Structure 1
C-alpha cells in the first residue's frame, strides 16, 4: 500500500474494500481561525452571553433534518450539560468503547493510525453490505478520545456512508467546547476527518460499482 494511504478492512465474503487517500489540504488553518474567532467573541460578549448564544445556535442546528438522528441526540444532550456533567458523561461514554475485534489485531497498525493525535490512536473502518462500521484502538489513559469515538460509533455503525458525512464539521466543538479544547482540538478533528474519508471512499466505491 502506498505511503500516506489508509485502508478499509475487508471482511469476507461481502465486505467492500477500498483505499482512502489523505486529503491534500490540512484542517489546521481552519481550526486556528475558529479558535481565534471564538476567543474574540468571548472578549466581545463575555462568557455568559456567549454561552447563551452558542446554546441557541446549537439548538437551532440540532433540529436540522440534515443531521442524523443519532448525532442529534448526542448534541441535544451535551447542549444542556454543565462542564461538570459534561465530564461525567464523557467518562460514561469512554467505558462504552468496544474492544478492538480480533480480526483487526494482526493488521499493520501504522496504516490506521491517526498521526495528528498525540495519543496513539488507530481507527479501523469497515464496510459491509453498504453500511459503515468503525472500530478503534485507544489506550484507557485517553478517556476523552475514547468517549468521542464511542458516541460516534454508537450513532453511525450500521448506517450508510452518507450518515457519517452528514455529521457537522464542528461536532467536536459543539460537544466539548465547555471543557476548553486547546491543542486537543486538532487531533480530535483529525479523527473526525479520518471517519469522513473512509465514508467518502466507501460512497464513491458504491457509486462506481
Structure 2
C-alpha cells in the first residue's frame, strides 16, 4: 500500500512510500478506500519540519487530514459499502479534560488530543484507512468531487457557531459581514455567510485570477481596495 509520509521535525522529508502497512484493525472497524485528500497550509508547515508528531513508536507520520473516501466494509452497520465518508481529524485526549469528556474535543484544554496526519495519528494520504464509527462522517453522493473540503468547512462552521453564540448574548440582527481574504477558508466563510442571507463583502489583494468570479458566484461582493 502506498502512503505519503514525513519524518516530523525534519524539513523536506516528504516521501511516497510504496510498502506502507495496511491500517491496523485497532484504528477502527470501518475500512475505507481513499479517493482524495486536501492539502492546506498545515501540511506545508509539517513538510517544512515546523511541527507534526508521529504515532507512538513510529518515526514517520502519514500526512493528510482533509479526507474523502469510499467505504469498503463496515461490520458495525453505521455506513454501507460504497458510501462516501470523511474522517473527523481530532480525537479526544485519554484523560479526558472537561471539554473532551463531553465530546467537545475540538476545544481540548490540556493539549493531549491527537489528530490524523498532524499529531499522533496516521493521516488519510494512504490508499486505505480505518475509522471508528464515532469519527466517520457520511457524505451525500453529490459531494464526490468536493467532499475533502468537509474538514476546512467544519472549521468555518465552528467559527460561525461561536460568532452567533456571542451575538445572542444581546439583541443582535446582523445585516452584513466582512471577510478578509479569499483563499479557501475565506471562500467557505463567504459561502456560509451567503447561506445566512447576509450582505457578504470579501476583501483580498488579488485583482485578477479566479477569486473575483468565485466570490461573485457565491453572491458576495469582491473588494481589493479600502472597505
Pairwise same-fold verdict (TM > 0.5): no
The TM-score with structure 2 as length reference comes to: 0.23
The TM-score with structure 1 as length reference comes to: 0.24
Q: Which has the higher contact order (CA 8 A, sep 6+)?
A: 1
- Greater strand content: 2
- Greater helix content: 1
